[in-house]
Structure formats: C-alpha cells, structure tokens
Structure 1
C-alpha cells in the first residue's frame, strides 16, 4: 500500500476549507511528488512502512502535503495541464504563439509549493530528527 501522509480531515484542518471532492487522490499525488522532489533528499527515521517515526517530522510532512494540495487548488491545476500548449500556430495571415512547454513540465503545478519549504523548515525540526537536503552515499 502506498504511503499517504495526510487525510481529508488533515487538509480541512490545515486550510480551514472543505476539501475538494478528489482530495484523497490529490493528497496521494502530492505525497508522491514531494517524495520524489523533496523528501528523498531529506534525512529522518522511518518505520517498516516508511512513515516518519518522530511525530514532529510526521506533522511537518503532513502539513507540507496539505500545502501542496492547497497550492494546486489556488492554481486550478494539479497535473500540469495548464502548462501544456502549442508553441506557435499559423493559419494564413494569422499567427499565434504561446511560450511554455508542450509537456506541461514547466507548469506551476509541477513546482513545489512555496509553503512546503516553510513547513519543512519549522524550528521544531532540529537536525537530530530531520535534515532537509541531506544527501549521503553508502
């Protein structure tokens, strides 16, 4: 079973708003994105299921996931579709152009929300329990 760090109730508590209908899917997607782009570069202790063992670390990651979903709600896009488009199109004398990626990879929805960094740099997350950006080799 895939890890998901936050629930619909966590999202509602974090934002003070009713969660969107697809909140479980969004929380799962935000978890996977943050694991791939942020958490894999962090150091913290985990249990056999990969969940943080320290409650302060778990709470910070939970808030970070909720912040990412909230960011997507503000953007109106959670998958990068708004960044997908055409580079330039011309028909006769009409020519249209749009900068951006044809794949959506440069979409704001594919960026880590600014609030995520704030949540993961909480003063409670002392180096003995959490290190943001820790990279080690074996």
Structure 2
C-alpha cells in the first residue's frame, strides 16, 4: 500500500516560491513519511484512505510536508534523512558543521523547525493543550 502524500509539487512551488527539484514527488513522499512519524499520537478525522478531512489539518500537513522538503534541500539531504543529522552542509556563503543532536519530534524523526511549528500550531503534536 502506498503511503499518504500530503502535498503536491504545485503546493511546494506556492509554499516556497521556487521551482521544485526534478525528483519532487519522491521528496514529498519521503517528507510525508517524516510528518507521519512525527504525528504518532495525533488524533484527527480521516477518510477511508487515512487522509485528513478537516481543511485546517489538510493545510497544516501540506505546509509541514513542504517545510520538510525545503529543510532537507537546505541541509543537502536527498530525502533519506542522513544529511540532516550527519555531515557538513554549505549553501552559498552559509556553512553548517556536523550536527549530532537528536530528532526534534516524536517518532524519531529529524523534523524541520517550520514543519514542527506548523504541526504544533495546528494542535497535532504531543503536548498541545486545547
């Protein structure tokens, strides 16, 4: 069974304001897996395919997925998760050293800061008080 994919290439383009990379569908699929892993305790209404039905949740998952791809691209990750935790990354004049800290979200996932904020703001991450 194919996993759920929360964002489209068009949503990625709208969210980032940039043209998507050639392998955007694969990157969105991997980022959606990361978002799913972070939502291990989230409760929200879904349809028969497991996709969210609340428009606010749909938007939050799409935004978080786009943020995850953007983050992986900025850290030099190809969607595998390896570069987000290990290795040096340079982007123009910016250089980041080895990063050895743990994941930032439940499910043992290195979640992009913007994705984390989006999911927390939507009440989808553990610890949110309603």
TM over 0.5: yes
Distance 1:117 1:61 in 2: 10
Match of 1:27 in 2: 28
Query: How many residues align structurally?
Result: 109
Change (3 A) 1:49 1:106: same
* 1:40 partnered with 2:30: no
Decide whether aligned partners of structure 1 residues 7 and 117 sit closer, same or farther in structure 2, where only a CA change above 3 A counts.
same
Q: What is the CA RMSD across the aligned residues, in angstroms? A: 2.6
Q: 1:132 — aligned with what?
A: 125
- Cα distance, 1:111 vs structure 2: 1.2
Deviations 1:69-115 (A, max 9, x none): 0001111113244427xxxxxxxxxxxxxx888xxx9699x610000
In the TM superposition, residue 120 of structure 1 has moved relative to its aligned partner by: 1.5
Map 1:84-123 → 2, pairs under 5 A: 111-122=110-121
Structure 1's unaligned 5+ residue stretches are 85-98
Instruction: Specify the alignment match of 2:76 in structure 1.
Output: 76
Name the counterpart of 2:94. none
Larger radius of gyration: 1
TM-score, normalization: structure 2?
A: 0.72
